Structure 1
Amino acid sequence: MDRYASGEYQIDYQINYTNSLIGSMLAVAVNGVVSENASTPIMPSGSASGTALLNLNAGDVITLRNHFLAPLSLALAPVEGARMDITKKN
């Protein structure tokens, strides 16, 4: 099976951070466009995670981003700052 095949994918994502502003959002973007059903609010400090089911095409570029104007600071090693697991369904 081609690991870059089109289809439905489950995307699990998480960040650990040291500071942020209320109103910040963690979001999954497909080809630079934030997916409406793949965003999670971020509190002032701690961690944020979410899961999304997305229909993707072969060659789509998936990114995890801070979907807010103000920056946030990811946790430093040895803590995992950010991760994204992408699993094809079926």
Structure 2
Amino acid sequence: MLGAAGNSGAAAVQLGKALGATVIAVAGGRSKTEFCARHGADHVIDHRTEDLTARVTEITGERGVDLIYDPVGGETAASTLKSIARGGRIAP
């Protein structure tokens, strides 16, 4: 989930958890990543300090993610496409 510390992102984190998903939240900065963790994200990636593709590869065991929720767009969103699993989806 990109923009996971925003309003719709935080709701998506909680909805994903309620539906039984393993949630990887992406946010920028320590306060935002801590916010994501407090709201139930299983894994949190700080896109400002971590290699997003490498971390997703590590977390998913090189499988990739099934769903990317992206309310933000931009450069970070473009880089997440490298992390999508075969048959994966993007939800704007």
Fold-level similarity (TM above 0.5): no
Q: TM-score range, shorter-chain basis?
A: under 0.3
Q: Which has the higher helix share?
A: 2
TM-score w.r.t. the length of structure 2 is 0.27
